[in-house]
Structure 1
Amino acid sequence: MPHLPQIRIPATYMRGGTSKGVFFCLADLPEAAQVPGAARDRLLLRVIGSPDPYGKQTDGMGGGTSSTSKVVILSASTRPGHDVDYLFGQVAIDRAFVDWSGNCGNLTAAVGSFAISNGLVDAARIPRDGLCTVRIWQAQIGKTIVAHVPMTDGQVQETGDFELDGVTFPAAEVAIEFLDPADVGEDGGAMFPTGNLVDDLDVPGVGTLKATLINAGIPTIFVDAAAVGYTGTELQGAINEDAKALAMFETIRAHGAVRMGLIRDVAEAASRQHTPKVAFVAKPATYTASSGKVVDAGEIDLVVRALSMGKLHHAMMGTAAVAIGTAAAVPGTLVNLAAGGGERSAVRFGHPSGTLRVGAEAKQVDGQWTVTRALMSRSARVLMEGHVRVPGGVLEADA
C-alpha cells in the first residue's frame, strides 16, 4: 500500500505569556484548511499531536498541557482600523476536538510580534525604534486588542529584563490593552449575563454557591474558595491529582455555563471545554509558589486559582486575568470583596506561579456595568520557525 509524503507547512512556534502555541499565516495553510471546518480541525489536531490517549502529544508539537496545546491563525485584517485578524484554537489533548469558542490572552502577547515579522502590518506603521502599536481583531469574540510591541533597529525586540511569574527567563515587555472586553455578543449577552453581581448557583452534589458570573475577557465563573473547601493558595497537585475535585469543578462549570446562557443543557459543556472558565478566590494569604518563591499576603490584593480545560492552570490565563481585573473593579462582586471591596482600578493577585497585576476601567451606564478597557503586561518570544510537517492524507475525512 503506497504511503503519501508528509505535508510541509510554514509555521512558527512561539511563547506568549505563560503559554506556547503553533502560529500560522492563513494563506500558508493548505487550501482546504483556509476555511473553518473539519479539514482545518483535522490538520491542526495532527500538528499538535491529538488525540493522544497517553496525554503527552509526543507525535506532535503539543506539550501535554492546556497551556501548550494551542494554535493561532493570523491574516492581514480587512476590518477598518485594524492590522491583523486573529483566530485561536484550543486543542483538546485526549479527544479529537478543537475549541474555537474563545481567546487566549497569553498568546495574544505574541500576535503583534508575529504579525510584524511576517508582513501583516503595513511597513509604514512600523517604527525603527520604540513601540509599534498593532491593532488586533479577535474574530471569535469580536473584540479589538491593542499590542504595544518594542522595536529595535527595525526588528521586533524579544529580549529584555521584564519578568513574568510562570516564565523562567526575562524578556521584553509587551503591553496589551483589551478594548471593551465585556462580551456583549449574541453568544454571551451583557457583562453580567444574569443581571446580578452575585448569584445563588445551584450545583447538584455540591450545593448552592454564591457566584459571580461575568463576561469580560472570557466568560468566567467565580466562587469563594472556602465555599468549595479550599484556601485559594493551592498549587496544581492539590487539584489536578484529585479526581473528585476536578469532577466538582467541572460540574460547577457546566451549571454556571447554563446559567450564563452559553449552553442550553449541562451535557453540552463537554463540547465547550475552553469556555467558560471556573475560578475560586480568597482574601490575601501568604503561600509558597510553584517556583519556591514566597508570596507574602502584604504584596497582593487577593488570591485566585483558575481551571482551564479541566485542570488547574499553572499560572493564570490572560483572558481570565482580564475577568479578574474587571470583576475587581466592580464593587460587590466576589472578586472585589475578596480584594477588600470598594472602587479600584487595578489589582495584584496571587496565582500558583506568583503574582500578576491587571488594571481595568469599569463604569455604570444606564444602570448596567461596562468596562472600557483592561490592561496587563506580558512577554513573547519566537522559539522556532520554519515548517511543521504532518502525514499526507490528514485533510481527508478517513485519515
Structure 2
Amino acid sequence: MTRRKYMRTRQLKPGMIIDQVIKDRTGRNLVVQGSAVDEYIIDSLIKMGIMSVYIRDGEYNPDDPDKILSPRAAAKVKELRTDDRSKVRLTDSVKKRVSEGIQFVYNNPDSDEFVQATDTITDALMTAITENDAIAVDINALKTSDEYTFKHSVDVATISMILAKQLDMSEKEIHEIGVTGLLHDIGKTKVPPEILNKPARLTDEEFAIMKKHSLFGYHMIKDRPEFNNAICMGVLQHHEKINGHGYPLGFDEHKICPYAKILSIADIYDALVTKRSYKEAFSQRDAVEMIMSMTNELDITAMKAFLGSMILYPVDSIVQLSNGEKARVVRNNEHYILRPTVVGVDSGRVYNLGDDLKCASIIIL
C-alpha cells in the first residue's frame, strides 16, 4: 500500500518515486510524476532551490514497473502508453458459480438440469464479455478450477466466445459457441478413468480410445432438442484439421463446421499452456508460435481472430530484450502480438518492435 508523503529534498534517496511534476525555470518538465530519482536529479533539485517534494511512500518493490523507470523512460512511457484492449474479467463470485456449474455438468451428464446448468454458465461468461466490451483474453485471469477438465472446458468456451466476437458473429452464435466449448469434452466422461487420468503419455491403444471422446460427446447431446446441429457438430468435429488429418472422421476444411474451426484453436492453445502430470506447460509465447505454425491444419480466419485476441505482454509489464535491456510495454499491436512497442527502463529508448525495421533483430526473451 502506498501513500503520498512530503519530504525534504536532502532526505531523498535514489530510487524513491516523485509524486508530482517538477518543472525547471523555463517551464519544461524536469521530473515527471511517477519517476524514480537518482543522485543527479536530487542534486539538480537542491541547486534549483526546491527544498521539499511529494514522494510515494510505501513498501519498496524493485520490480514495480513505476519504480524502476529513469526520468527519461518515465516521460516516454507517459507519452506513448496506450491501454490494452478490454479483457474478460471474472469476479470471484462468478468464478465460484462457474466452477460449481461446470462440475455439475460433467458429473451429471444425464441429469434433467444438464441443459439449464450449461446455459447458466454460458450466460455468466457472456455477461463478463459484454459488461466491459471485452475483445481480448488473459488466460491467467480465467482460472475457475484446479481440476484440468473443468478449467479447460471453461477456458475453451471463453476463448471461443471472444474469437466469435472478433469474427462479428451474432449474440446467439456467440452464446452457442460458448455452450459448445463447455461441452466439447463431455464425451471424456465415457472414457475409462484409468485412461483419462493416466499420469503418463498414453499408449497407441489407449490414445485410440481417448480419440473417441468427441464421438461419445456427440451421441450424448445429439438427441437433446435444446442443442442444435451447429452445437452438436462442433462437439463432434473439434479435433478435425483442415488438411483432413484430424479425427474422428478425417474431414477436410469444406466439411468442418465453423464452430469446430474456432474451438480447435482454443482447445489446442489452452492444452499447450496448461501443465499436466505428463508434461510441463508451454509459455504463452511458445504456444502462440506453435499455433502460428499450424496454417496447414487450422482455419486461417479463426487463427487471425485468435491472434487478434491474445495479449501476451500486457501494457505496463516489464520484459527482457535480446539486446540486454529491460523494457516496459507501452502499446500492443494486435497484428504483431509477439512484438509490442516498449520503452527501455534505463535508456528511455523507444523500441517499436512491430513496425520499426531498426528493431528487426531485437526480440523479447
Same fold (TM over 0.5): no
Higher RCO (C-alpha under 8 Å, 6+ residues apart):
1
- Higher-Rg member (1/2): 2
**Bigger fraction of residues in helix:** 2
**The structure with more strand, counted as a fraction of residues:** 1
Q: Give the TM-score category using the shorter length.
A: under 0.3
Instruction: Give the alignment's TM-score, normalised by structure 2.
Output: 0.26
